[in-house]
Structures are given as C-alpha cells and as structure tokens.
Amino acid sequence: MESSTEEKVVAVILVGGPTKGTRFRPLSLNIPKPLFPIAGQPMVHHPISACKRIPNLAQVYLVGFYEEREFALYVSAISNELKVPVRYLREDKPHGSAGGLYHFRNLIMEDNPSHIFLLNCDVCCSFPLPEMLEAHRKYGGIGTLLVIKVSPESASQFGELVADPVTNELLHYTEKPETFVSDRINCGVYVFTPEIFTAIRDVSSQRNDTATLRRVSSYEALQPATRIPADFVRLDQDILSPLAGKKQLYTYETMDFWEQIKSPGMSLRCSELYLSQFRLTSPHILASGDGTKSAIVIGDVYIHPSAKVHPTAKIGPNVSISANARVGPGVRLISCIILDDVEIMENAVVTNAIVGWKSSIGRWSRVQAEGVYNSKLGVTILGDSVAVEDEVVVTSSIVLPNKTLNVSVQDEIIL
Amino acid sequence: MKALILVGGFGTRLRPLTLSLPKPLVDFANKPMILHQIEALKAVGVDEVVLTVNYQAEVMLNFLKDVEAKLEIKITCSRETEPMGTAGPLALARDKLVDGSGEPFFVLNSDVISEYPFKEMIEFHKAHGGEASIMVTKVDEPSKYGVVVMEETTGKVEKFVEKPKLYVGNKINAGIYLLNPSVVDKIELRPTSIEKETFPKIAAAQGLYAMVLPGFWMDIGQPRDYITGLRLYLDSLRKKCPAKLTTGPDIVGNVLVDETAKIGEGCLIGPDVAIGPGCVVESGVRLSRCTVMPGARIKKHACVSSSIIGWHSTVGQWARIENMTILGEDVHVRDEIYSNGGVVLPHKEIKSNILMPGIVM
C-alpha cells in the first residue's frame, strides 16, 4: 500500500563552486557555470526540470560552494516557474561528491524520503529518472547508477564499470583507468535509499581510525600531508568501488544521449542535444518562421520572447538566442549561442560560436570556427561586451571580455 | 603611325584567369587589358597595331576583328613560333614596322597599365632627336627590377643595371618605347633581350633617352598587382574623367559599374571596385577592392574584399571571400562558405571553407 509520507523522493544536484570548472572559462568568468544557458535555459534547469517528472518529488536541493547570493534569485524564480521547491545549500568547504550529500543528511531526511536522487549539474542527458526509480525498486539495493555505453577509446576519461548482464548488479568500478576495463561508464546520475548515509559514514570513520593510527608514528607525522580529510568522501572511489560486487549497487542503462559539459565548446553541443529533445517533448518552445512575418528558421532553434530577430535573417540549425538580443536584417546564424543583450548587425554571419552577453557584431562581419566541440579552439568564444567591428573575421579564437576587434584574427586567444 | 604590343606567352602568373582567356583579353576595369592600350594608341593617330603572340593567336584574332571595326584601326598578329624574348619580336615583325616612311613606332609591354601619355612621348622623342625613347617610372624598391641610369636634365640614358645590389637610381623600365625604324636593323632574328642587348648598344651611341612617366604605372601580370592597379587606375579616372565613375547612396570611393550590371538594395560597394557587364549583385552585399568579371553573380548578404571573381561565377548567400581569393571562370561558391585566399581553377564548386590561402584544382 502506498502512503504519501512513505514514498517521498528528494533530489540533490551537485553544482560545484568557483574553483571547480575553470575549464569553462571565459564563459564562467562572469556567471557560475551551473547558470550558463544551454538551449535557452540555465544549465541546472535541465536536471531540475527532469526531477519534476519523479512521482512524489518533495524537494530539490542544489548543493555547492558558490556564495548564496549567486543562486538566491535563480532558486526562487525556478521554484515559482516549475512549481517545485528548490533550495540552494552552501557547503562551507568542498566535501567531495558523497561528502556533500552526507553533510546535509539531516535536511535531506527531514521529509523522510524513501529515495534520494543524486545528479551532477554538468551532465547532459535525457534523465530517465522515473524509469531509474522503478528499476531501483525492483533491484532492492542501496543504490542504482545510470550507465551508458561509449566508444572504447573515450571510456578512460570516465568511471568504467562492469555490470552483470542478467541482474544488472554493479560488479566492478574503477575511475579513469589507464588500461581498458569496460566500455560502460558512469553517467553521474544516481538513486539511493537512505542506507547510503550509513555507507558514507562508515567510510568516514574508517578514515578517522587510520588517521589516529597514523599519528602514532612520528616519522609519518613529518611526511608532507597529502592525507585526505576524513569528511571529504568521493562517491566514485570511496563508495562505488568498494561496494561493487556486494549485491548493494545496481545499474540502469540509458540508450539516449549523454555528454558532460566541461568546456565552452561542449555547451554548444549540449545545446544542440537539448534543443532536439525539446522538439520531441515540448515543440512549442522552439521557434519557427518562413521569412514572411518572422525570420526563416531551420532545424531546432530557441528564441527568447524578448529577443528581436529581423524577418530577413535566417536562423539555425542549433541556435539559441537569449533575452533582449537583437538580430539585424540579413543575418545568418548557424550552430551558435547568442547570449543576452547581444546586438548583431546587418548581413553578419555567426557559425560555431558562442557570443557573450552585451557583445556587438558589426555589419558584414563573420564569427566562425570549425565546430569541433571538445577541441580548444574548435568553437569561437566571445566573452561579454566584446565588439567585433564591421567586416572583421574572427576564426577559431577565444576573446576575453571587453575587447574590441578591429582587425581579423584566426587561431588566437585574445586576453 | 604603327605600334607593336608584346603579348608573348602563357600568362601563367595570372592563372587561373588565363586558363580561360589569353591575358590581353582578361578584363581590367571592365575592358580587356589590351583594349586600354589600343584605344590610347588610336587617340594619338596610330593606325596599325601589331601584336606579337606565341599562344592562342586565333582567340586573340577573333576578338580583335570586332575592335578593328569599332575603332577603325588595323590589327595584325605576328606569330612567334618560339619565344623571341623582348627584342626578337621586333625583328620578326620587321615587314610590318618598317614601311619606308621613317616614322617612329611604339612598342608596349601588354601587362603595363598607365595613363599612356603618348602625345607627350612623341614630342619628347622629336625634341631630343635620338634613335630611341623609353618611359621610366620611379619605384620604391629598384633592386627588384632593371634600373635605368640616366642624366637627370636631358634624360640621356647611360646604362641599364639589372637588379642592382647597391643603389644606382630609382627609375626602372616602364615597358613603353618609341623607336625609330633604324632600331630594327640592330636586332637579330633570334631570342634577344631589348634591355640587355639592344638598348645598351643604342645608349653607347648616345641615342637613347628616357622620359619619366607621369601618373601611375603598374604591371598587372599577377593578381596582387592587378588589384592594386585597379585602385591606381580608378584614382586616375577620378581626376581625369570622374563622370565615368559610378555614384550613389550605396557607393563609397571609386567604383566602376557597367551599365548592364544590376545592383540590389542595401549594398555597400567600394572603394576600388569594378563590376563588369551582365553582373548581378543581390541585396545586402558588401564589395571592396575587388573585380567582378562579366556575367558573375554575387548572392545576398555576401561579402567580397581584395579578390577577383571570374566570369559567370557565383558567390553564395552569406559567403565571405577575401584576402586575394581568385575565382576562375564558372566557379560556384556555396552559401555561407568562407574563402581566405583560395585560388580556384575554372568549373569548380566550393562546398567547404578555405581557411588558409591555397590552390583548389
């Protein structure tokens, strides 16, 4: 018998902090990475929105070590918009992916949830959370991981795991191995029962004991301390690896897309993935037009309602245009993210690029790159308030905020 | 009065344009290169022009029949069966040049454009009474060329120095001569260099005089100089005959648009642009420092600078063509493509970006 108090679910989304995610610069110089827009919505919106589909969702917690004020506005807005209670919890210091969960266990357990979802904010996927929960209930373990099959060459960048093909039990887990272990990897999305807190606490106390033992040897006390603090618990190495093969952890495989948003270029790729997902789940969000009353739209395109796009422009595929942007006559946008308040003047072309807030793109100018998402200069990035003057060509370059380009550049990083 | 235009060879430096037409027939400022010279010669009373060619003479002759009729000037070709250098062709054409009248004849290098001050040259030649007159032009880097060392006041030439290592002077041979028929006697019928063999002989006999060419000068035998040459030519046209230039709200600087060309709305054309007969420039296009050959089409919102667009080619919508891109005849650049210095041979379609200068066969 289902009682509403017994079957509540809480979701925790790890958002990191300013010292993490430096690979996301220069876009993260002015905005926390979790709030960077992907497919027209802040990055963290997508997992939060997915959480809404979980039956009996009681609360969503964002856990990270950014200043509270950076998330205050966003959290109250998204709570209203999605009608889901969302709250930001600030860690006083990094506790690791499992440690953060443990640190706030009292708050999380307040609603007596039967299950707790843990998601990483910079994961881009279809978040099949209700399906994961159902599978987890059947398995009866303390946790279920979302996994995906990738190419053997790329697997070593992630946590590789082996699962039993019949029972789906997690048999073996290793993080970023040097040799090939498996082509199934950890997606960074988990569902746990409250017993996970016991498991984390056990790891913590084990560490404390070892620490006490260590203090006995004065020789060791003199060694440089790279000892991990007792309350820094990493989910992958400290929980998943040891518990693998003990009939405690299970896997749920997704056949949909999965990417990590680590670099600015990947945000363009993930924008593309989410936009194509909108086409299936909520096509009314996407823009359309045939050049008569509004601009020609090709493929999946998001245009914020307050943005102004001239009817003679041609937009798409894979374009996101944010609030108050102005796209002039005869402009061509392909595979790009145009952030708030950007002005793009007549006949300019932007392709494979991210144009930062308040930037301006001159007439007949061209901002381009080859579109290799995880290569350093594969997507051209303009920081905020960059001015590209008329007829200038910017190719495969990164331009930091507040620069004016009056000559063409190629393959450069402009500080 | 007669003139000889040294047309010579294959025009390889101006490929891919010269893969479609012999160089003298390649348009410059909306007119075949050689026509600029023939018109200027006609204006000073030349009634017969001899072209020395060793390549595609039939193509030349066909074109020239029209010119003969229109300008009422006689044009003949002198066929070189082997390259004759810069003086040999004169001996080859002796029968046509030496008619017993004793009148001097012009010799022009077909790659040269200038204001062609032929009238002044005739007066200069009569005044000094020497056997040969040569135009010289001042350049910044004389060591790249052959320097003419001369007496400043009279213009009497002392000697020629090829690519001098030390500075001997800053005037070089501009490729325009006015010669008495007696000069032809001094040239043997074999490959000969006029600068190395003929002129030094005449200079030693105190018979060679040099006049400094007033106005601009350019050897437009290669694309970069072709583009610079257009700027100089249009500049000169503005001073001499500004009515020939096109004006309008979408025009900036010196621009020449043939009357049969069409230009759309919201464009920005210029400076230093020539748009040939039958061209179509659609709306929202930006053109600067470029030549659009007859029959070419530039589609909407495209941007072309410092480039040459070949005959009947198309540049796609939102394409960006720049930095010495040369499109040969019938080249089609797809929409949104970027070309940075691509050199594209005729009858090709460009479907992917050209990020660095290079040749597309």
* Tens-digit pLDDT profile for residues B148-182: 999 988 899 998 888 888 888 899 999 999 999 99
Tell me the β-bridge partners of A262. none
Contact A347 B284 (CB under 8 A): yes
E-assigned strand segments in A244-386 = 249-253, 258-260, 296-297, 301-303, 308-309, 314-315, 319-321, 326-327, 332-338, 343-344, 349-355, 360-361, 366-368, 380-382
For an interface test with B, which of A319, A364, A393 has the most B Cβ atoms less than 10 Å from its Cβ? A364
Count of CB atoms situated within 10 Å of the CB of B283: 17
Task: Please report the pLDDT score of residue A4 as a whole number.
Answer: 47
Contact A349 B300 (CB under 8 A): no
Question: Which among A312, A351, A391 has the least Cβ separation from residue B303?
Answer: A391
Task: Assess contact for B9 and B40: CB atoms under 8 A.
Answer: no
> Which tokens belong to B334?
């797809």
Question: Which among A349, A363, A393 has the least Cβ separation from residue B318?
Answer: A349
Task: Please report the pLDDT score of residue B66 as a whole number.
Answer: 85
Helix (H, G, I), strand (E, B) or coil at A15: strand
Task: Assess contact for B81 and B6: CB atoms under 8 A.
Answer: no
End-to-end CA distance of chain A: 63
Sort out which chain B residues have CB atoms less than 8 A from A395's CB and list them.
Answer: 338, 355
| Cα gap B269→B290, rounded to integer Å | 10
Task: Please report the pLDDT score of residue B320 as a whole number.
Answer: 97
DSSP H helical ranges for chain B: 33-43, 57-71, 88-92, 94-97, 118-128, 182-185, 199-204, 223-240
Bigger pLDDT: B128 vs A229: B128
| Cα gap B289→B324, rounded to integer Å | 10
Q: Nearest CA to CA, how far is A279 from chain B (Å)?
A: 26
Strand-pair category, A343-344 with A326-327: parallel
Does the CB of B2 have a partner CB in chain A at under 8 Å?
no
Number of Cα atoms under 13 Å in the Cβ half of residue A261: 32
Question: In terms of C-beta distances under 8 Å and separation of at least 24 residues, what long-range contacts does A193-197 make, across chains too?
Answer: A193/A114, A193/A115, A193/A116, A193/A141, A193/A142, A193/A143, A194/A109, A194/A113, A194/A114, A194/A116, A195/A142, A196/A101, A196/A116, A196/A142, A196/A143, A196/A239, A197/A101, A197/A102, A197/A105, A197/A109
Burial class (CB within 10 angstroms; exposed 0-12, middle 13-18, buried 19+) of B236: middle
Task: Assess contact for B110 and B77: CB atoms under 8 A.
Answer: no
Sort out which chain A residues have CB atoms less than 8 A from B305's CB and list them.
Answer: 391
Respond yes or no on whether ipTM tops 0.95.
Answer: no
| Cα gap A391→B220, rounded to integer Å | 27
pLDDT-derived band of residue B41, with 50, 70 and 90 as boundaries?
very high
Sort out which chain B residues have CB atoms less than 8 A from A349's CB and list them.
Answer: 301, 318, 320, 336
| DSSP string across B79-122 | E-SS--BTTHHHHHTHHHH--SS---EEEEETTEEE---HHHHH
Burial class (CB within 10 angstroms; exposed 0-12, middle 13-18, buried 19+) of B196: middle
| Cα gap B173→B134, rounded to integer Å | 7
Average of per-residue pLDDT across B63-83: 85
| Cα gap B354→B361, rounded to integer Å | 13
Task: Please report the pLDDT score of residue B186 as a whole number.
Answer: 85
Q: Nearest CA to CA, how far is B301 from chain A (Å)?
A: 5
Task: Please report the pLDDT score of residue A212 as a whole number.
Answer: 52
| Cα gap B157→B108, rounded to integer Å | 19
Contact B355 A395 (CB under 8 A): yes
| Cα gap B273→B246, rounded to integer Å | 10
Touching A: B residues 51-80, CB under 8 Å: none
| Cα gap A172→A169, rounded to integer Å | 9
For an interface test with B, which of A331, A334, A349 has the most B Cβ atoms less than 10 Å from its Cβ? A349
Q: Percent of chain B at pLDDT above 90?
A: 64
Of A44-58, B91-105, B289-303, B317-331, the least confident: B91-105
Count of CB atoms situated within 10 Å of the CB of B242: 10
Q: Give, as one character, the DSSP assignment of residue B330.
A: T
- Give me the count of residues in chain B: 361
Task: Please report the pLDDT score of residue B89 as a whole number.
Answer: 86
Average of per-residue pLDDT across B105-116: 93
Touching A: B residues 239-258, CB under 8 Å: none
Tell me the β-bridge partners of A350. A333, A367
Tell me the β-bridge partners of B159. B149
Mean pLDDT in chain B? 91
Residue A324 φ then ψ, to 5°: 60, 10
- Which parts of chain A register pLDDT below 50? 1-4, 214-217, 220
| DSSP string across B158-213 | EEEEES-SS---SEEEEEEEEE-THHHHT--SSSB-IIIIIHHHHHHTT-EEEEEP
Contact B303 A395 (CB under 8 A): no
Contact A332 B301 (CB under 8 A): yes
Question: In the sheet that B349-350 helps form, which strands lie side by side, from edge to edge?
Answer: B262-263, B280-281, B297-298, B314-315, B332-333, B349-350
Task: Please report the pLDDT score of residue A218 as a whole number.
Answer: 55
Task: Assess contact for B346 and B20: CB atoms under 8 A.
Answer: yes
pLDDT-derived band of residue B127, with 50, 70 and 90 as boundaries?
very high
Question: Which among B283, B305, B336 has the least Cβ separation from residue A332?
Answer: B336
| Cα gap B287→A272, rounded to integer Å | 34
Sort out which chain A residues have CB atoms less than 8 A from B268's CB and list them.
Answer: 363-364
Helix (H, G, I), strand (E, B) or coil at B255: strand
Sort out which chain B residues have CB atoms less than 8 A from A394's CB and list them.
Answer: none
| Cα gap A274→A50, rounded to integer Å | 12
Touching B: A residues 320-359, CB under 8 Å: 329-332, 334, 346-347, 349, 351
Contact A332 B355 (CB under 8 A): no
Task: Assess contact for A163 and A86: CB atoms under 8 A.
Answer: no
Contact B284 A346 (CB under 8 A): yes
| Cα gap B342→B332, rounded to integer Å | 13
Q: Nearest CA to CA, how far is A300 from chain B (Å)?
A: 19
Of A159-163, B98-102, B199-203, B279-283, the least confident: B98-102
DSSP H/E element including A63: strand A57-64
| Cα gap A47→A42, rounded to integer Å | 10
| Cα gap B295→B329, rounded to integer Å | 10
Task: Please report the pLDDT score of residue A1 as a whole number.
Answer: 44
For an interface test with A, which of B268, B281, B290, B301 has the most A Cβ atoms less than 10 Å from its Cβ? B301
Q: Give, as one character, the DSSP assignment of residue A4.
A: T
